[in-house]
Amino acid sequence: MVQPGQPRRGVSSSSVDVPLQELVSAVLGRSDAHSVPIGRSHVYELGEVDGVGLAVTDAIALPDGRVLLSAAAEDSPNAVDDGPVVATALALVDGERVVDVAPLPEVDGHVHKVEGLALRRVDDSGVRLLAVVDDDDPSAPSSTIDLRVEI
């Protein structure tokens, strides 16, 4: 489970390991949520862009045990209010170690905030992802983009 963090307030993005079977059982109401064991915690220092810290927006596990994170540098005073997004990135992590952080390109001069990731395929050339983009515009639906990542 991932906690996005609030870099502006000095809170790094982090996660804890939980066993999937017990988590699903609790979500479905078959067991008490308090019975889900909490495992190891991980803290992710992803850096900053133009003085705004990158915070995790989603995470997916890769077949080799590493994790791919999407992150946004959103200049907001808290985790609830939207603010201008100055950059987005993907980060590859192995345990607590950030292996690499790669910025996502702007499209037509606009930074698109990736808030969801789905793994489509993993092969020798890398990872294919479906990314959900939320531009924080309540009048516009979210869109999706296809990403290919060499890892």
Note the pLDDT tens digit of each residue in 99-144. Answer: 999 999 888 888 888 999 999 999 888 899 999 998 778 888 888 9
User: pLDDT value at position 117?
Assistant: 95
Q: What is the pTM of this model?
A: 0.81
The answer to which of 47-51, 62-66, 88-92 has the lowest mean pLDDT is: 47-51
Residue 50 is given by DSSP the state T
Q: Report which of residues 96 and 97 the model is more confident about.
A: 97
Nearest alpha carbon to residue 149 among 109, 99, 110, 107 = 99
Q: How many CA atoms lie within 13 A of 97 on its CB side?
A: 4
Residue predicted with more confidence, 88 or 83 = 88
